[in-house]
Structure 1
Amino acid sequence: MKAPQFAFKKIAAAAFACGLATASVAMAADNLPAAKPLKLPELQYEKYTLPNGLVILTHEDHRLPLVAIDLWYHVGPLNERAGRTGFAHLFEHMMFEGSEHVGEKAHIKYLEGAGATDINGTTDFDRTNYFETLPSNQLELGLWLESDRMGFLLEGLDRTKLTNQRDVVRNERRQGEGTPYALADEQAYHMLFPQDHPYYASVIGSHADIEAARINDIRDFHQHFYTPNNASIAIAGDFDAAKLKALLTKYFGPIPHGPAVEPVTIKTPPITAQKRATVTDTVQLPRLTVAWLTPPVFTPGDADTDILVHILGGGKASRLYRKLVYEQQIAQTVTCGLNALKLGSIANCDITAKPGVSLDSLEAALWKEVASLQTDGPTQAELDRARTVDVTAKITGLQRLGGFGGVADTLDRYNQFLDDPGYLPKDIARYQAATIASVKQAAAQYFGKDQSVVVSCVAGKKVVDDVPRSPDNTDADVKLTAPYDAQFEDQQNWRKTAPAPGPTTAFHLPVPKTFTLANGLQVYLLEDHSLPVFSAAVVARAGSESDTPAKAGLAGFTARLLTEGTTQRSATQLADDAEQIGTTLTSVADVDSANASLNALSNNTEAGLDLLSDVIEHPTFAPEEVERIRKQRLVAILQESDQPVASVLRVGFRTLYGDHPYGIRPIGNTDGIKSITRDDIASFWQAHYGPKDSALVLAGDLSESEVKHLSEKYFKSWTGAASTAVTVPAAPTPPGLKIVIVDKPGAPQTALYAIGLGLPRTTPDYPAVMIMNNVLGGLFASRINMNLREEHGYTYGAGSGFLMYRTGGPFYSGAQVRTDVTAPAAKQLMLELNRIRTDPPTEAELKLAKDSLLHSLPGDFETTKASIGGLRQLFVYGLPLDYFAKLPARYEAVTPAEVSKAAQTDVHPDQLILMAVGDRAKIEPSLKELNLGPIEYRDTTGNLLK
């Protein structure tokens, strides 16, 4: 259940949309192969309304046996008032607590057991939505669940559940408050809007208002806003239209029409004089935020503003990135985005300073670029690139059926704001219609200094306005009124029985086509011609497992430099060329491998492979680029100490593994990055990047013949004798249980995680381990999460998992918990880690854990990007080509005895490091009282303190 903490969206809003229609898509750059003609996909839909007012939106897609349900309620902070902030988001959480016929906390259990993916709910300023993607034979289950909590939530909504979810939501807010710069984001909204405006407060609300929520407030909120006439439901995927209509009528038709919801007509006052503020936070680097009010979503000027924001700071080809990060090297990061909303949108730029750089110099540089756009407008090349990025994002978004910007989500979004689910072609058209003049006008009209708010976030004390919990007897005497009479309730008794799944649709997980070039390069291909999109990556076994303590971070440093200049293109040319075809080139190393990748429209396949082959085969590692990226990585390592979970990973892995490669984060450490030379990087590339030990993996709208031709054209001349001659040393002897405290004064939460030795990815009992971990902490309904979050309210979310590398890897479990419950949470965490060994999973737990893994497998291949992730595993770990095709049968064959054995052999509570990153003064005394083991103290780099 997610809410934007303080609502700034860090990338342009167009990236969340998707669309169709005929559009003039920009051609490739002069130094790239020309784009082929592109036929944009069509997205057919049907819209109708039930007698009770519920709007139905449907889209059939039979490429996978999946169906997405996305239910939008037209309520958010837009409908709240001062003193009642956060109600919409709090209620989003209450909707998962269990409705009358489904049962308490059973909603997600049903979905996870059915193999659902993308199970979530989100609240934004203008709406709240709930969504899940299910195997298509479980469509009726999804409709039963969503209809029951729409019509029958109040019967089970009591003060106990409210108390628990108040705690959970406030933990979610604390988690946000612990994020660097989040308090500055909130301050910017306070300055953009007056205090009585719906957008003034964060979506999640204030601690005081959340804690003040009472049971009848919440019940009234449901009866007023969570009604069929204030909602739309979009269903996309593999279904029979006639059967779907009958099911919708059955499940949603009986729910009564609710009261009319009056439209919100608040006018957002303009800013006529610049507003400034300084916020202190426990951050390593200062950050500048400049924000402006811009036209409401889908109104004239909105698309031009979005394009302008992208050109200003939307990526590596943007003006601010080029000037501040690349050329002047005075900024660590630049991120500009647009939060497009009903009552007025918000454009913002966040610029994080390099050490020793003043925010004044960053601000001066920003206003210089804004002034240039106001005077001259963008270049034609900038405009073309921005429009191509928009079209690409809209089409690639259509790969997903459900939430977070997929097909169903898009239908709902256009319907909510425009009453036109078919607005997709018009949305593309408004971006294509933008001109140099219209973008220039937007810059002049909305981006003036006197129309801005400026927030400087500097190092200092983190000031959080927390409040005490309500007394335990809060609402104890409140009488709850039943929403329906007995006769209506009797008529709905049929809902008590969960619908059985339909016939299982046969689905065969894909087996890639493969071939090998003469130079040894292996090529893997998964064809999918449903949309004109593709993803591609070159994967090399060049991960940080090859790093030594003296050169920690060498693999990651090398990979990062691949996209920073070749013999044919400079770093800036690479960024421009990639954006010209609507993509971003990325290159990164993890523990086991390194890869360079991109996602684009298939009419630019040749241009994409031209770029990909260039960065892999011809990197220059220019000295000036080496030094620039060195500085960036040193600062990034410094910034990790701002983030509690990053500190857990760095300190925990180092404490567990010492100088073993698995104890070193792929980004390296300060000493290692400082010691690496340009020759080290070049030598590493020569030793670890070559066709004999790499693979080209592709998925999407590509034919085998086309791939054979293009792989020969762009990769056959690649030479090199790189081989996997990496010997990873044996893991150290596991420690006895001990506690490690990393002091983070003023932290609103403790990052509490137990870390121990785990398993390699190729472990023979992989299926049994995954099922066991699902019971322990891998699912929302797992033991750890139900204990720490749902029973005790200690955290926003808890879990466990295995990071499986080539020869091993760490096991982890835990959560970010409220500071004052650090010790009780540690006690409960250790209880569950021991209980999984002494209290074998029940039959119900095993069924849920197994079914979730088994039935969710098709969702792992919903997008081309996800598909190449699977192909990458086949290559890196030497798995057979039919590995995924045979995986369902392996899950099916796992016995209860094998799951119990996995708990005994792979979870070791007496050999863990219990990491606690938080305010030492507040958490140390109670942790000592637990007597779990010795306590040691380390700094944020992992050094042992005395």
Structure 2
Amino acid sequence: MTFKTLALCGAAAILSAPPAAAQPGQPAPVAQLVGQVDIPYEQFTLANGLRVVVHTDRKAPIVAVSVWYDVGAKHEPAGKTGFAHLFEHLMFNGSENAPGDFFEPLKQIGATDLNGTTYFDRTNYFETVPTAALDRALFLESDRMGYLLGAITQGVLDEQRGVVQNEKRQGDNQPYGLLRYAVTENLFPAGHPYAHDTIGSMADLDAASLQTVKDWFRDHYGPNNAVLVLAGDIDARTARPLVEKYFGAIRRGPQTQRPVAPVPTLPAARTITLNDRVAQTMVSRYWAVPGVNDADAAALDVAASVLGGMASSRLTNQLVRKEQLFVQVGVDNNSYAQVGTFEIYGLVRPGVDPAVAARRLDAIVADFLRTGPTQDEVTRAVTGRVVGRIRGLESVGGFGGKAVALAEGALYSDDPGFYKKQLEQLATVTPAQVRAVAGRWLGRPALTVDVVPGQRAAYAEAKVPPPAQPVAAAPVPAKGTRGPLPAVAELKGLSFPAIERATLSNGIKVVYARRTAVPMTTAVISFDAGIAADVANRLGTQSLTISMLDEGIPGYDAIALAEARERLGAAIGTGASPDRTTSSLSVPSVNLVAASSLWSGMLRAPTFPDSELPRVKAQQLAGIQQELTSPYGLVARVLPPLVVGTDSPYAKNRGQGDAAAVTAATRGDLAAFHQAWLRPDKARIFVTSDRPLAELTPVLERAFGDWRATGAAGTKTFGPIQSASPKIVLVDRPDSPQSIVAGGTATPLRGRDDLLPAGIANDALGGDFLSRINMNLREDKHWSYGAGGSYDHFENAVPYTLRAGVQADKTGASLAEMRRELADYVGARPMTQAEFDRAVTGAIRSLPGDYETSGAILGAMQQNDLFGRPDDYQATLPTRLRALTIDQVRGAVRNSLDPKRFVWVVVGDAAKVRAQLDTAGLPVEVIPAGAVAGGAAPQAAAAK
């Protein structure tokens, strides 16, 4: 979110008895915060070269298993771009002794945080599993490391090639989606290891033969090129014999050689202009810089934060708040193992000359290079980065937990504890260092890439057409040379924390759970408002109101408020679901008192200054225009009112609102919404913390206990849902290489109903990777990168929606398949016993992983409150799941879904798609993307 210096306005007219000006106090020193980050580990290396790192964390009966291979895009020679990523997909399709999708046996053991990724420097695979299922996870990981090639057939290759090409289409289909190719291809010289994107080219993916991909595996995926991290309910003494058992017999492979990858300097400044169907011109600057192991990396991180990475950054303050030339700016230092990229980007405000905006951006950067940052800027930047690392370390695995920190250090820096060195380097960075390092690297010629509104160039499609009727790869029989999959030992049940409660003196209820894994406090204040409370015929009022909450409070303008939060390492955000409006606080517990004072001021006494309202409105209008260029943004604006009916409060769930209403909104409108909805009698506070409730309650009492509501409270009225008649609405978005097919229907269910049977039923229909719709469109047909569906759980309605991104030439066929799968599941092919058993067993076994983090606990507490569940609802789930019968589950889906009542929205290129839809037997309406209801902004609002 962006801010500007405010002309302060008194809040007494808005709220009664506002709190005194917040006094943030002295934040904890950075060195103290750094000292709180520690991931003890042990390591050993097998005779075949496999490096193993073990971290013990007994907070839950789960273990994160993370395997990182020293192979990524930088290892790909010319003609083989995208091979590392293609192989990431192939390694999920089964191995010689565990054929079929790896998701099947991992689902059976309740794996969570299950995925794989590829980037320039590595390919990784990870899952968090119950401790009792660790043997099976290690068997599976070792089998695809040492026993894979026999399971890779031409059919498997063709299948996953199609999936990857649709993943590429999906990314390319987004606004600004082609920018990444222009950057890598022009920032690095031809032949440089970092000169191409991870996804690769369509032509190289087309050219991948069965022999070439098998040779690629032999060259790169040996144990001596891998790091295995086990983090969680495990220790090295227990881990070593297990790892020896499953990985010890795998032979070494050729040693991956680190390619020569110098940091290039452009001989002269270079400018690339891309035309794209975007809402705003994007101006960006790029430099190649040193990577993560270089002594300059920490100073470059700080420079990025000070320039554009913080709420109070130089570029944000000057270009967004004061001069209002941009609606958004950002700066990132992306550190890879051998090089990095430093990027500065901004979305030009509509009506502003991009050349003028770009010159001012360059001038501010040049001034920063001359003068450097202040000590306060450096301290705030370092605090934010250190606290961000602390937040991420509550999880043992996943995309950013402790296993990731250890694996990155081991693979990139030959030191699992390298994260600590990085933090220590950050803590000692000085303003002089930042100035010198920024000048050394950003003073060189830059690559400029401008993305401007216009028609895209012709898309480089795949040249090898898929079969007219593709079929799933033929199953490969298990060789069985390693014996059966290990059995799962007796699992420990979920240990959901005890919920405690308190009541503030004004009646606000506090719901609390103790979590001691990290020294953080996270709190959410939830108001009974939500998108359903948005002002009828003035949609966007709620979004604009909560966007203005941090534009100033008594004693603080927006910049001062942002700086105060940054000194404390406090993340304060706002959001809304269909039923609730929320504000959240996450802060090191040592800084909680000061942070809660700022938080309370933002909620109780926002000044809503008239001087800043035009800018924030312009930013929201720009966001609306961006929604009209985004395929999923268009679906989100069009589908809800068709499913729940235009009269339902839930029909307001359409992005950031109506442009005309946002343009016309006044300060009085925001103050009125705040008074009616964001008030203590509609509030409840949810907290997780390492500090006891007895210590937190006085803090919350000082912050909120004397808050009194004034005026009449807002009300929401829900009547019967009147869905639109079944039809297809085709939103014409030209130049789309992929279509989004989305369908929805109302159901008779409501939020406080027992939705467990319906949730289990949906697991096999659209709720899981192994669901019928995903396996059909992704794995069998390879027309999609992913497809699925869900019951949308609102307090007063539970609509069901399906979504799939599909290649443009298969739009009509994909819609037909989705409709067929729905009809079969409700009718002739209901959930099978095997699907039922898999869903129930997976749901029970995944519970400890599902509720590992404070964020998950906090979410569960809010859901329990919203839907009237007891505090121990999660603890009762194993018993309730075991009691379900297949007849109950089949009945739940049969009684709630009528395939003939679905209404469909397709976002794609009408010139390519319309004829495909005419055979569906449903009326087809075509509307241009720019004409989606509520999207067109009055011209006067576009210019400053």
Tell me the TM-score range normalised by the shorter chain: over 0.9
Alignment of 1:23-422 (within 5 A): 31-35=23-27, 39-105=35-101, 107-422=102-417
Contact 1:413/1:421, CA 8 A, preserved across alignment: yes
Aligned equivalents of 1:496, 1:721: Cα separation in 2:
71
- Identify the match of residue 682 of structure 2 among 693, 696, 699: 693
Helix, strand or coil for the counterpart of 1:351?
strand
Partner of 2:803: 814
- Identify the match of residue 621 of structure 1 among 608, 613, 616: 608
* TM-score calculated relative to the size of structure 1: 0.92
Contact 1:591/1:805, CA 8 A, preserved across alignment: yes
Contact 2:278/2:452, CA 8 A, preserved across alignment: yes
Q: Which amino acid aligns with 1:76?
A: G
Q: Which amino acid aligns with 1:318?
A: S
Contact 1:653/1:810, CA 8 A, preserved across alignment: no
Contact 1:564/1:625, CA 8 A, preserved across alignment: yes
2:640 paired with 1:653: yes
Contact 2:88/2:116, CA 8 A, preserved across alignment: yes
Helix, strand or coil for the counterpart of 1:495?
coil
The alpha-carbon distance between structure 1 residues 759 and 216, as it changes in their structure 2 partners (threshold 3 A), is farther
Contact 2:55/2:234, CA 8 A, preserved across alignment: no
Helix, strand or coil for the counterpart of 1:170?
helix
Partner of 2:788: 799
The alpha-carbon distance between structure 1 residues 127 and 734, as it changes in their structure 2 partners (threshold 3 A), is same
Aligned equivalents of 1:910, 1:493: Cα separation in 2:
46
Q: Which moved more, 1:39-48 or 1:709-718?
A: 39-48
The alpha-carbon distance between structure 1 residues 464 and 397, as it changes in their structure 2 partners (threshold 3 A), is farther
Partner of 2:763: 774
State the 1:467 CA deviation: 3.4
Aligned equivalents of 1:908, 1:836: Cα separation in 2:
11
Contact 1:741/1:937, CA 8 A, preserved across alignment: yes
Partner of 2:6: none
Q: Which moved more, 1:606-615 or 1:874-883?
A: 874-883
* Runs of 5+ unmatched residues, structure 1: 1-28, 477-481, 483-488
Partner of 1:631: 618
Aligned equivalents of 2:485, 2:361: Cα separation in 1:
58
Cα displacement string for residues 869-925 of structure 1 (whole angstroms, at most 9, x for unaligned residues): 222223333332222222332222221111111111222211111111001011111
Q: Which moved more, 1:287-296 or 1:506-515?
A: 506-515
Q: Which moved more, 1:715-724 or 1:127-136?
A: 715-724
Aligned equivalents of 2:685, 2:467: Cα separation in 1:
62
Aligned equivalents of 2:466, 2:37: Cα separation in 1:
56
- Identify the match of residue 663 of structure 1 among 637, 651, 654: 651
Contact 1:403/1:409, CA 8 A, preserved across alignment: yes
State the 1:507 CA deviation: 2.8
State the 1:385 CA deviation: 0.2
Partner of 2:11: none
2:423 paired with 1:431: no
Alignment of 1:488-887 (within 5 A): 493=480, 495-656=482-643, 657-664=645-652, 665=654, 667-720=656-709, 726-758=715-747, 762-838=751-827, 839-887=829-877
Helix, strand or coil for the counterpart of 1:387?
helix
Equivalent pairs, count: 902
Cα displacement string for residues 64-112 of structure 1 (whole angstroms, at most 9, x for unaligned residues): 111101100000111111111000001101011111111122x111112
Aligned equivalents of 1:938, 1:732: Cα separation in 2:
24
Q: Which amino acid aligns with 1:660?
A: S
Helix, strand or coil for the counterpart of 2:612?
helix
State the 1:254 CA deviation: 0.9
Aligned equivalents of 1:907, 1:136: Cα separation in 2:
38
Q: Which amino acid aligns with 2:624?
A: I
Contact 2:642/2:723, CA 8 A, preserved across alignment: no
Q: Which amino acid aligns with 1:908?
A: D
Partner of 1:452: 446
Cα displacement string for residues 370-421 of structure 1 (whole angstroms, at most 9, x for unaligned residues): 1222111101110000111121112221111113121111111001111111
Percentage of pairs with the same residue = 34
Q: Which amino acid aligns with 1:32?
A: P
Cα displacement string for residues 626-662 of structure 1 (whole angstroms, at most 9, x for unaligned residues): 2222111111111101111110111111333224221
Q: Which moved more, 1:525-534 or 1:795-804?
A: 525-534
State the 1:712 CA deviation: 1.4
Q: Which amino acid aligns with 1:74?
A: D
State the 1:568 CA deviation: 2.9
Cα displacement string for residues 194-238 of structure 1 (whole angstroms, at most 9, x for unaligned residues): 121121111100111111111111101111101101101001001
Aligned equivalents of 2:309, 2:792: Cα separation in 1:
32
Partner of 2:15: none
Contact 1:691/1:722, CA 8 A, preserved across alignment: no
Aligned equivalents of 2:782, 2:465: Cα separation in 1:
15
State the 1:493 CA deviation: 3.7
Aligned equivalents of 2:135, 2:899: Cα separation in 1:
41
The alpha-carbon distance between structure 1 residues 239 and 165, as it changes in their structure 2 partners (threshold 3 A), is same
The alpha-carbon distance between structure 1 residues 57 and 898, as it changes in their structure 2 partners (threshold 3 A), is same
Q: Which amino acid aligns with 1:231?
A: A
* TM-score calculated relative to the size of structure 2: 0.92
- Identify the match of residue 906 of structure 2 among 894, 910, 916: 916
The alpha-carbon distance between structure 1 residues 939 and 782, as it changes in their structure 2 partners (threshold 3 A), is same
Contact 2:792/2:798, CA 8 A, preserved across alignment: yes
Q: Which amino acid aligns with 1:715?
A: F
Q: Which amino acid aligns with 2:345?
A: D
State the 1:552 CA deviation: 1.2
Q: Which amino acid aligns with 2:98?
A: V
State the 1:751 CA deviation: 0.5
Contact 2:505/2:706, CA 8 A, preserved across alignment: no
Cα displacement string for residues 745-774 of structure 1 (whole angstroms, at most 9, x for unaligned residues): 111100111111146663423111110111
Partner of 2:941: none
Contact 1:545/1:728, CA 8 A, preserved across alignment: no
Contact 1:296/1:342, CA 8 A, preserved across alignment: yes
* Runs of 5+ unmatched residues, structure 2: 1-20, 471-475, 936-944
Q: Which amino acid aligns with 2:171?
A: G
Cα displacement string for residues 304-326 of structure 1 (whole angstroms, at most 9, x for unaligned residues): 01110111110321111111111
Contact 1:98/1:156, CA 8 A, preserved across alignment: yes
Aligned equivalents of 1:471, 1:634: Cα separation in 2:
41
Aligned equivalents of 1:763, 1:872: Cα separation in 2:
13
State the 1:530 CA deviation: 2.3
